[in-house]
Structure 1
Amino acid sequence: MARWVILMCLLLSIVEARGRRNGNVFDVRDYNALASGNTDDTKAFMSAWKDACKTEGKTTFVIPSGTYMLNPIVFSGPCNGQITFELKGTLTAPTNNPSSDTTWINFRYLDHITVNGGGKLDGQGTSAWGRKNGNPLLMGLGFAFVNNSNVNNIQSVNSQNAHISMYQCENITLSHITITAPSNSPNTDGIKMAKSKGININDVHIATGDDCIAMITGTKNVNISNVYCGPGHGISVGSFGSNTDEFDIQDIYVKSCTFNATSHGVRIKTWPTALTHPLKASNIVYEDITIVDVSLPISIDQEYCPSNKCGKKVSSGVKISNISYRNIKGTSKGDVAIAFKCSESNPCQNISLENIDLKRKRPRRHRTLKNLCFNVRGASRGIQEPKACW
C-alpha cells in the first residue's frame, strides 16, 4: 500500500510539472534552474522562454523565490501570446561579462509583455565598476522594439551601467519601481530612453550615480509623475546634438516630482556642436516640482561638455523652445537657482517661468541666490525668487 501511495505521488508530480510546462504557466524550476546563486541558470531560462513564447493566449513565465545567476540573455519575440514575466526571486549578473553584449536582461521584438512580481535584479556593480579591461559593463534591463507593455513592482540594485533602457519602444508604462545605486557609481542612469514614444513613468524611486531619468535622441510624448530622485543628476533631456543622425526630443511632461540632494533638478543639455540638419527640443513642461538641497535646480546647458573633451567649442545647433516651468519650490545648496546657457546662434525661445520659489539651504553672508541667463528669450509671472532674468 505504501509503495502504491509513493508511486501515485510521483505520477502526480510529473503530471503537475508537465501541466505547468504544457499549459500557460512556465516555471524555470521545471526546466532545471537551480537557484543556487552561483550556478549559471541561463540555459534553463532560455528553454522556458522558448516554450512560453510559442504558446498561444495569456502566458506566465515564472521565476520563483531564490537567487539565479544569469549571463547576458535575450528574451526575443515575436511571441504567439501575451506573456507576463513574473520575477519573484533575485537575478544576479556576472561580475565579469563573458560576452561582448552590452545589456544583461534584454527583451526584444515583443508586444504586450508585462514584467512584475516584486523580485530583484542585482547587477553586482560594486564588483564591476572598477574594471577597466575586458568586455563592456552591462546595462541592467533592456527593451528594444517593445510595444504596449508594462513594467511594475520590481527592484534594480547596483546595475553596472544604466538600470533600465528603452530603444525604439512605444506605449510602455513603468510604475512602482525602486532603483538603487551609490551616488559615486559611474554611468548608472536609472531609466534611459531613445527613439521611443508614449512612455509613462510614475511612482518610481531612483537613487543612483547618474541621471535618474535620461531622455535622449528621438524621445517623444513622455509623461513622468511622482518620481523621487536622489541621489543622482536629476531628470534630463539630453544630452544630444553631437551627431548627424539624431532626432528631435519633444512633448515631455514632468509633474509632481521630488529631487533630494541631487546635482541637478530639471535639466536640458546639448553639446556645443554645429549641425548640418535642424534639431530641436520643444514642448517640455515641468510642473509641481519639489527641490530639496539641490546644487542646481533648473538648467538649460547648451555648452554641455563633460571632462572638457569637446575640442573646439562652437555654438550649439539645437533649437530649444516652448519650455515651461511651473510651481517649483524648495532649497538650493549652490549659488545659482536657474542657469540658462543657451546657444548664441539659436537662442532659447518662449521660456516660461511661473511661481518659482527657491531659497538657499543655508544663507551665506553677502551671497544671495541668483539666476544666470544667456541667449534666452522668455516671460515670467507669479512668484519669482530669485528674481527672474527678464
Structure 2
Amino acid sequence: MNTLNIVTPLTLLFILFFSSSTASTTVYNVVELGAKSDGKTDSTNAFIEAWTSACNSVGSATIIVPHGQFLVKNVIFDGKDCRNSDITISMEGATLVAPSDYNVMRKSENWIRFGKVKGVSIQGGTLDGRGTSLWDCKLADGKHCPDGTRSLKFSNCEDVKIEGLTSINSQKFHIVIYDSHNVKMHGVTIRASSDSPNTDGIHVESSTDVTINRADIGTGDDCISIGPGTKNLWMENIICGPGHGISIGSLGKRFNEQGVQNVTVKTATFTGTQSGVRIKTWAKPCNGFVKDVLFQDLMMNQVKNPILIDQHYCPHNKGCPTQVSGVKISQVTYSGIRGTSATQVAVKFDCSSKKPCSGIIMENVNLIYQNRPAQSSCSSIDGSAYGVIRPLSCL
C-alpha cells in the first residue's frame, strides 16, 4: 500500500509534465531567420522559411513579426504539404510593405496569398500595398498599367482567423476570401483613397460560413463585395465610407453561376458612400440567384443610393444592352434602416422583367432627403411593407 501511495503522485507528475510539453508552442521569429525591419531589405525568404518551419513543427506554432517595417515581395504560403493546422502569425506593431515599384509584381495577381491552409490565425499588423503610384497610372491614361495585385488572398482555406489587421493602399482588392470555409474576421481596418480604382475592402466569393465583425472600411470601391457561390455570410458592426457601400454583386456575368444565399448585414453605418446596401446583376441571361438576405439596423449619412437593386448593370453598354438579367432575387428583408439620402430617390428597386424580384420586405424604414420626404422607385417587383415606411413604399 505504501508503494502505491508513492507511485501514484509520481505518475501524475509525469503525466502533467508530458501534457504541458506536448501542448507548448514553437516560436519562429522572422528577424532571427534573416528578415530586416528597415523596410528596404527584401525579407521574403525569411517569411517563407518561418512558414515552412511552422508547417513542419509538431503542435501549435507561432510566427513572430516584431515591430518595424518589412519589405516583402509577392509570396505564397502553401498549405498543400503543411502538417500543422494551428499556426498563428503575430504581427502586432509590424508593417509589411510591398515593393514601391508596381512593375516588380506586374505579373502577379496577389501580393500575399494563402492557399489550401487550415487553422491559420493572423493577429494585428499592417499591410501597406503602396498602390498610390499604380492608381495614378490608371487614372491618367491606364493603357500601359498592370492590372494590380490584391494585398491578401485566402483560397481553398479552412478555419481562418484574422484579428486586428490593418490594410492600407492596396493596388487592387485589399482582402479576398475565395473558395474557403469558416473564416472569421474581427477588428479589421481598411483604408484607401476615395478615388482609388478597384480597391474593394473585403471580397467574399464561393465561400461558406464567413463572419466579418467590427470592420472599419473606407476605399474607392465597395467596402464589402459579395461574389457568386457565397453562402452563410454574417457582417455586423461595420463602418463604411468612403466607398461604394456593401454590394452583393455584380452577379450574372456568366450564364452558369452559383447563387448567393443566407447573407446578413446587421448594425452598420454608411457615410458619404455611393450606395448603402446594393444588389447588382448584369443585364444578361444567367441561372444564378440571390435569396435569404437580411439588411437590419443600418444608418445612412448622406448616401447617394441607400437601398438599391440594380438588375440592368452593363458597363459601356457592351455585351448586354438589349438583354435582361436572369438572376432571380427573392426573400430580401430591409429592416430598421434610417438616415439621410444624398439623392431624392432613396429606395430604388430596378428588377429583372424576365425574373421579377419576389418576397421583398420592408419594415420600419425612415430615409429623408434634404429635410423633406425622399422618393422610392419600383420596377418588376413583388413584396410587402410594414411599420413606418419613409419614403412611401412602392411595393
TM-score higher than 0.5: yes
Contact 1:333–1:362 (Cα < 8 Å) also in 2: no
The whole-number CA distance in structure 2 between the counterparts of 1:271 and 1:240 is 6
Q: Which 10-residue stretch deviates more, 31-40 or 279-288?
A: 31-40
CA contact (8 A) 2:299 2:337 kept: yes
Matched with 1:119 is 125
Correspondence for 2:90: 86
Q: Which runs of 5+ in 2 are unaligned?
A: 1-23
Instruction: Provide closer, same or farther for how the CA distance between residues 384 and 23 of structure 1 changes in structure 2, counting only shifts above 3 A.
Output: closer
CA contact (8 A) 2:255 2:285 kept: no
Instruction: Answer yes or no: is the 8 Å Cα contact 1:129–1:137 preserved in 2.
Output: no
Q: Which one of the candidate residues 161, 168, 187 is aligned to 1:157?
A: 168
Partners in 2 of 1:284 and 1:205 — Cα distance? 22
Q: Please give the alpha-carbon distance, in whole angstroms, between the structure 2 residues aligned to 1:125 and 1:328.
A: 35
SS at match of 2:45: helix
Q: Secondary structure at the match of 1:387?
A: coil
Q: Is the 8 A contact 1:97 1:138 kept in 2?
A: no
The answer for the alignment partner of 2:150 in structure 1 is 139
The amino acid that maps onto 1:103 is: N
Partner secondary structure for residue 51 of structure 2: helix
- Structure 2 letter corresponding to 1:86: S
Q: Mapping of 1:233-312 within 5 angstroms?
A: 233-275=244-286, 278-312=287-321
Using structure 2 for the length normalisation, give the TM-score. 0.89
The 2-side partners of 1:219 and 1:26 are apart by: 35
- Is 1:106 the counterpart of 2:109? The answer is no
Structure 1 residue identity aligned to 2:122:
V
State the Cα RMSD in Å.
Answer: 1.5
SS of equivalent to 1:31: coil
Q: Distance in 1 between matches of 2:393 and 2:162?
A: 40
CA contact (8 A) 1:264 1:298 kept: yes
Measured in 2, the distance between the counterparts of 1:369 and 1:309 equals 33
Q: Does 1:383 align with 2:388?
A: yes
1:84 aligned partner, one-letter code: T
Q: 1:315 aligns with which of 307, 310, 324?
A: 324
1:97: how far off? 3.9
Q: Which residue of 2 aligns with 1:333?
A: 342
Count of paired positions: 362
**TM-score computed with the length of structure 1 as normaliser:** 0.90
Give, as a single letter, the amino acid of the residue that structure 2 aligns with 1:107. F
How far did 1:362 drift?
4.8
CA distance, structure 1, for counterparts of residue 65 and residue 307 of structure 2 = 42
Q: Distance in 2 between matches of 1:58 and 1:361?
A: 56
Segments of 5+ residues of structure 1 without an aligned counterpart are 1-21
Query: Among residues 10, 24, 35, which one is paired with 1:33 in the alignment?
Result: 35
| 2:77 alignment counterpart | 75
Q: Report the equivalent of 1:49.
A: 51
What per-residue deviation string (whole Å, max 9, x for no partner) do you get for residues 16-35 of structure 1?
Answer: xxxxxx97111110111112
- How far the C-alpha of 1:310 sits from its partner, in A, is 3.9
How far off its partner does 1:315 sit?
1.2
How many percent identity over aligned positions? 38
Q: Secondary structure at the match of 1:98?
A: helix
Counterpart of 2:65 in structure 1 is: 63
> For the Cα contact (< 8 Å) 1:225–1:255, is it kept in 2?
yes
